[in-house]
């Protein structure tokens, strides 16, 4: 029998980086965190990273369970949420964090790189919201937080696919907020700037310097800077905030 006093939290893409920090910000006794990552070829490094997130959540008194789930696959997503709902009967919080980049100049961008980024970053969030919102509507309660990006607002050369996916996330957030508000569900987005994770570690020194020069606070952000704001938006303290985009970028966009 599900324990209705437990807070059920689903975070996508939490084997590392910002997703892991979000899980840790929410980990406390009484929280059950379900998160995914995606290891198509049974990659043991990715499974080990996910196991490390589980361990860190448990050390803070919460519980965590990870699964390899491709958020771009409706079949995978539906099975993931069914498994959670069969066990818990509800979902209180959904954080759509899973994301990828496949950078390149627009005129040279391959169709498969456009599709991959839009499928994971934007369709993935749509599929997860659809799967979680049904249960949240029944419960007349929910907190959905989507991870966008500052570049979804200001644009970025070499990232047309990624920027389009993040601008799409902002539109999706606003529409979902309007559709779901009457059922007690809030939907917000955060727009991180340059945060130090594996995603940005792949940048060249030149690209890194160019990003840093655009940050009024003069330093990159840490995953915890994003996690704290997500934690707030997912809490009951933010119950009168919906359809908003909170920038966490050291002032890259003012």
**Which residues sit at the interface with ligand NAP, rule CB under 6 A?**
12-19, 36-39, 46, 49, 69-72, 97-100, 120, 147, 149, 192, 194-195, 197-200
Whole-number Å distance between alpha carbons of 50 and 16: 7
Q: Which is nearer to ligand NAP, 161 or 186 (CB)?
A: 161
Tell me the two tokens of residue 184.
């007690």
| In the complex, minimum distance from the CB of residue 71 to ligand NAP, in angstroms, rounded to a whole number | 4
Whole-number Å distance between alpha carbons of 128 and 78: 8
- Give, in order, the Cα–Cα distances in Å from 219 to each of 8, 195, 208, 249: 34, 9, 11, 10
* Torsion angle of the four alpha carbons 134, 138, 140, 141, in this order, in degrees rounded to the nearest 10: -50
| In the complex, minimum distance from the CB of residue 149 to ligand NAP, in angstroms, rounded to a whole number | 4
Q: Which is nearer to ligand NAP, 70 or 242 (CB)?
A: 70
Q: Which is nearer to ligand NAP, 141 or 169 (CB)?
A: 169
| In the complex, minimum distance from the CB of residue 226 to ligand NAP, in angstroms, rounded to a whole number | 7
Whole-number Å distance between alpha carbons of 96 and 14: 10
| In the complex, minimum distance from the CB of residue 150 to ligand NAP, in angstroms, rounded to a whole number | 7
37 is catalytic: no
Q: Which is nearer to ligand NAP, 136 or 148 (CB)?
A: 148
- Phi, psi of 61, rounded to the nearest 5 degrees: 95, 0
- Among 37, 141, 162, 240, the one annotated catalytic: 162
Catalytic residues: 162
């Amino acid at each position: 029998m599900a324990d209705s006093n437990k807070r059920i939290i689903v975070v996508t893409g939490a084997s590392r980086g910002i997703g892991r920090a979000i899980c840790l910000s929410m980990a406390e006794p009484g929280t059950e965190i379900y998160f995914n990552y995606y290891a198509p070829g049974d990659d043991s490094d990715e499974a080990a990273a996910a196991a490390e997130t589980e361990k860190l959540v448990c050390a803070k008194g919460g519980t965590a369970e990870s699964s390899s789930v491709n958020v771009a696959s409706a079949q995978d997503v539906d099975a993931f949420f069914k498994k959670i709902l069969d066990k818990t009967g509800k979902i209180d919080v959904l954080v759509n964090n899973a994301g990828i980049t496949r950078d390149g100049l627009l005129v040279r961008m391959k169709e498969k790189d456009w599709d991959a980024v839009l499928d994971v970053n934007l369709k993935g969030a749509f599929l997860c919201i659809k799967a979680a919102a049904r249960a949240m509507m029944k419960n007349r309660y929910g907190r959905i937080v989507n991870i966008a990006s500052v570049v979804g607002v200001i644009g970025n050369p070499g990232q047309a696919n990624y920027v389009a996916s993040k601008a799409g996330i902002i539109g999706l957030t606003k529409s979902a907020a309007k559709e779901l508000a009457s059922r007690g569900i809030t939907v917000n987005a955060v727009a991180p700037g340059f945060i130090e994770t594996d995603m940005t570690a792949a940048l060249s020194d030149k690209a890194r310097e160019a990003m840093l020069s655009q940050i009024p606070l003069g330093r990159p952000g840490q995953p915890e800077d994003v996690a704290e704001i997500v934690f707030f938006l997912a809490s009951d303290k933010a119950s009168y905030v919906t359809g908003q985009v909170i920038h966490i970028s050291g002032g890259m966009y003012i």
